[in-house]
Amino acid sequence: MERPEYLETTVDKFVFRVMADRYYHESDTWAMDENGTVRVGGSDFLQKKNGDVAFVEPRARGTRVAQGEEFGQIETIKALVSLVSPVTGEIIEVNGELEARPELVNEDPYGEGWIVRIEAEDFARDRQKLLEPGDYFILMQEKIKEELGKKK
């Protein structure tokens, strides 16, 4: 399979990537349409900002979530992070692999580190409020600047 394209920026020694094949919520989660069901995870920026993930706590399978609502939390060494759902629908699967290997969220945020699959009510509608990769890339760069500003 051909490697999907991505946008990339390097700040200090850190590389931040935004995959070009999906949509983003402004709260740093991503949504990838897979024929009606939507795979959801956290962005590279989300995991780098919050550090090593110790535990992933998605809401249970069968839970209905609305776009912009929390669909789970991740406990990292630095913060308890609320995960914001990019779509409205029912959680139909949670990534069981994360139970034993929560570090996948850090190691492969766009691949094996996906968090839930949601049966979207109307992805076309939800998509209008999501960001295209290019737009999220710009937003992310602003967020990175802001984070750097905080440290100075």
The residue (of 2 and 146) whose beta carbon lies closer to another protein is 146
Of the candidate spans 13-21, 93-101, 106-114, 120-128, the one that interacts with another protein by CB under 8 A turns out to be 93-101
The span from the CA of 42 to the CA of 122, in Å, is 21
Number of Cβ within 10 Å of residue 119's Cβ equals 15
Q: Is 118 in the site for another protein (CB under 8 A)?
A: no
The span from the CA of 25 to the CA of 128, in Å, is 11
Q: Which two tokens stand for residue 31?
A: 């949504």
Of the candidate spans 15-23, 58-66, 70-78, 120-128, the one that interacts with another protein by CB under 8 A turns out to be 70-78
Q: What is the dihedral of CA 22, 18, 43, 101, to 10 degrees?
A: 100
Exactly one of 1, 60, 77, 124 binds another protein (CB under 8 A); that residue is 77
How far apart are CB 18 and another protein at their closest, in Å?
13
Quick check: 35 and 4 in contact, CB under 8 A? no
Q: Is 66 in the site for another protein (CB under 8 A)?
A: no
Residues that bind another protein (CB under 8 A): 25-29, 42, 45-46, 49-50, 54-55, 75, 77-84, 99-102, 143
